């Protein structure tokens, strides 16, 4: 189905490269800019006045000035069945899984539970300016059908997977290697490439998959070399000890996934906190992506992501909410906590790099940069509009802000979903802040 044709006017921010490499030269900013959208794709980005003069009379223009217009946020790691696990008290990873998460996930055998959660989650992501994500469903095929069905009806670009887990969890949640294979293959045949949907091969993590099931994940990865893969890697100290017990012949945690062919481009590896040099190099050489989940890592007390060490090994990095180990749906909150985690490591996350990471960087990590992640001609019109004066603390702070970079840093540090003015997917408004109707004209 064709998306919308319209133009969005505002303060337009996009990236022509990675500011971590190219500095400010990578930043494209129009203080009175226009994003021209035709049939759901971006046709042009530039100065508003000149572009408006060239539009035919009656062409629909939405004026979001003075708000910021940028590429929609992308969340490369979150869990559909954990919207009612978020904010569960007092446990580290393995206890948190057993005590809160696994019991809750058993409810998702119900198509009704899964479709209610899918609608709620997609509404919430839109309200936070997030237009794409990579989502763990549950072991139940019904949860994948519910989520991708709903994402497809909304025309969203989404990745999701049936979780493969055949041990270490309640019976109601475990599958078998054969079922994991058949159900993942069925999901691929039904959903992969349907609209903007993709299926990710999703072994939950090494502790909940037998050797035989990891074989299956690897076989699927070989059969479908272009598919995304998502799993968890090296999040928590007790998890590392447990993996060492379960896989005594592998040199380290990463080696387990390598042995089954799961370290490759589009492999989205959540957390990657406690990796050694060999592992970091293996991820870099394999082209896999390390997904930083700061609110989760702080909440579960898992540890501090080492962005600089991973970057030095050439590892692609993304940043994600990890709902519901993570505690916020907002990519702004996530960037803010990412900044603080890195500060504890003596590392930095400048504002331009942060906003690039949450959009173009995540798109690259997911292998989607040819379709989303920045505002450039030919890309899909997935866009978020942000109000950097959305709250009293932001208004107060902005009085003393002088540069765009300072503004963005204050926005990520103080902002949350209240800063989302509008969210567009394929040029269609999927969220509009109730109190702020934009001026529409032509």
Q: Is 101 in the site for ligand GUN (CB under 6 A)?
A: yes
Q: Is 205 in the site for ligand GUN (CB under 6 A)?
A: yes
Q: Which is nearer to Zn ion, 247 or 292 (CB)?
A: 292
Q: Which is nearer to Zn ion, 168 or 270 (CB)?
A: 270
Stretch that binds ligand GUN, among 37-45, 93-101, 169-177, 374-382 (CB under 6 A): 93-101
Which residues, 6 or more positions from 252, have their beta carbon under 8 angstroms from its beta carbon?
Answer: 275, 276, 278, 279
Q: Which is nearer to Zn ion, 322 or 417 (CB)?
A: 322
Least distance between ligand GUN and beta carbon 102 (Å): 9
Which residues, 6 or more positions from 50, have their beta carbon under 8 angstroms from its beta carbon?
Answer: none
Q: How far apart are CA 262 and CA 173, in angstroms?
A: 23
Q: Is 75 in the site for Zn ion (CB under 5 A)?
A: no
- Residues 312-350: b if buried by 16+ CB within 10 A, e if exposed: ebebbbbbbbbbbbbbbbbbbbbbbbbbebbeeeebebb
Which partner in ligand GUN, Zn ion, none is near 235 (CB below 5 to 8 A by kind)?
ligand GUN
Q: Are strands 27-38 and 428-432 parallel, antiparallel or unpaired?
A: unpaired
Q: How far apart are CA 261 and CA 219, in angstroms?
A: 8
Q: Is 322 in the site for Zn ion (CB under 5 A)?
A: yes
Q: Is 93 in the site for ligand GUN (CB under 6 A)?
A: yes
The residue number whose beta carbon is nearest to ligand GUN equals 325
Q: Which is nearer to ligand GUN, 214 or 379 (CB)?
A: 214
Least distance between ligand GUN and beta carbon 326 (Å): 8
x-or-dash pattern for Zn ion, window 119-138, by CB under 5 A?
Answer: --------------------
Q: Which is nearer to ligand GUN, 63 or 98 (CB)?
A: 98
Q: Is 83 in the site for ligand GUN (CB under 6 A)?
A: no
Say how many residues touch ligand GUN, by CB under 6 A.
11
Say how many residues touch Zn ion, by CB under 5 A.
2
Least distance between ligand GUN and beta carbon 107 (Å): 15
Q: Which is nearer to ligand GUN, 283 or 390 (CB)?
A: 283
Applying CB under 6 A, among 104, 145, 183, 322 the residue interacting with ligand GUN is 322
Q: Is 356 in the site for ligand GUN (CB under 6 A)?
A: no
Applying CB under 6 A, among 79, 140, 157, 316 the residue interacting with ligand GUN is 79
Q: Are strands 229-233 and 267-271 parallel, antiparallel or unpaired?
A: parallel
Residue 399: φ, ψ to 5°: -60, -25
Which partner in Zn ion, ligand GUN, none is near 132 (CB below 5 to 8 A by kind)?
none
Q: Is 296 in the site for ligand GUN (CB under 6 A)?
A: yes
Q: Which is nearer to Zn ion, 51 or 323 (CB)?
A: 323
Q: Which is nearer to ligand GUN, 204 or 316 (CB)?
A: 204
CA dihedral 373, 378, 382, 388 (to 10 degrees): 70
Distance of CA 407 to the CA centre of its chain: 23
Applying CB under 6 A, among 9, 67, 204, 307 the residue interacting with ligand GUN is 204
Question: By the 8 A CB rule, do 426 and 4 touch?
Answer: yes
Q: Is 253 in the site for ligand GUN (CB under 6 A)?
A: no
Stretch that binds Zn ion, among 262-270, 279-287, 352-360, 389-397 (CB under 5 A): 262-270
Q: Is 235 in the site for ligand GUN (CB under 6 A)?
A: yes
Stretch that binds Zn ion, among 169-177, 314-322, 382-390, 425-433 (CB under 5 A): 314-322
Which residues, 6 or more positions from 142, have their beta carbon under 8 angstroms from its beta carbon?
Answer: 108, 109, 110, 111, 114
Q: Which is nearer to ligand GUN, 79 or 333 (CB)?
A: 79
Q: Which is nearer to ligand GUN, 174 or 390 (CB)?
A: 174
Q: Where do contacts with ligand GUN occur on this chain (CB under 6 A)? A: 79, 93, 97, 101, 204-205, 232, 235, 296, 322, 325
């Amino acid at each position: 189905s064709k998306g919308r044709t319209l133009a969005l006017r505002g303060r337009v921010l996009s990236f022509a490269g990675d500011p971590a490499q190219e500095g400010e030269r990578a930043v494209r900013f129009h203080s009175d800019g226009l994003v021209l959208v035709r049939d759901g794709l971006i046709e042009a980005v530039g100065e508003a006045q000149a572009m408006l003069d060239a539009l035919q009379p009656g062409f629909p223009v939405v004026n979001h000035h003075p708000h910021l217009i940028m590429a929609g946020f992308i969340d490369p790691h979150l869990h559909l069945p954990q919207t009612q696990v978020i904010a569960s008290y007092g446990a580290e990873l393995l206890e948190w899984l057993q005590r809160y998460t696994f019991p809750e996930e058993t409810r998702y055998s119900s198509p009704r539970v899964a479709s209610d959660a899918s609608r709620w989650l997609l509404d919430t992501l839109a309200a936070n300016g997030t237009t794409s994500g990579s989502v763990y469903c549950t072991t139940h095929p019904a949860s994948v059908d519910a989520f991708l069905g709903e994402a497809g009806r909304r025309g969203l670009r989404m990745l999701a997977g049936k979780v493969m887990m055949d041990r270490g969890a309640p019976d109601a949640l475990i599958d078998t290697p054969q079922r994991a294979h058949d159900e993942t293959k069925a999901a691929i045949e039904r959903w992969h490439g349907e609209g903007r949907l993709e299926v990710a091969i999703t072994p939950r993590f090494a502790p909940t998959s037998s050797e035989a099931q990891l074989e299956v994940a690897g076989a699927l990865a070989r059969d479908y070399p272009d598919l995304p893969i998502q799993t968890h890697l090296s999040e928590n100290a007790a998890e590392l000890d447990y993996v060492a017990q379960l896989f005594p012949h592998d040199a380290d945690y990463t080696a387990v996934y390598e042995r089954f062919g799961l370290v490759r481009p589009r492999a989205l590896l959540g957390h990657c906190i406690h990796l050694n040099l060999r592992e970091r190099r293996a991820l870099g050489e394999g082209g896999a992506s390390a997904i930083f989940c700061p609110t989760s890592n702080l909440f579960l007390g898992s540890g501090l992501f080492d962005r600089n060490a991973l970057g030095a090994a050439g590892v692609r990095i993304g940043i994600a909410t990890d709902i519901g180990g993570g505690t916020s749906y907002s990519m702004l909150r996530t960037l803010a906590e990412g900044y603080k985690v890195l500060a504890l490591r003596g590392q930095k996350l400048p504002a331009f790099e942060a906003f690039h990471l949450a959009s173009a960087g995540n798109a690259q990590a997911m292998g989607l940069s040819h379709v989303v992640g920045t505002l450039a001609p030919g890309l899909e019109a997935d866009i978020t509009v942000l109000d950097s004066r959305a709250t009293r603390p932001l208004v107060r702070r902005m009085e003393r802000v002088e540069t765009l970079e300072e503004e963005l840093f204050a926005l990520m540090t103080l902002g949350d979903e209240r800063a989302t003015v509008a969210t567009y997917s394929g040029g269609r408004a999927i969220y509009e802040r109730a109190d702020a109707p934009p001026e529409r004209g032509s």
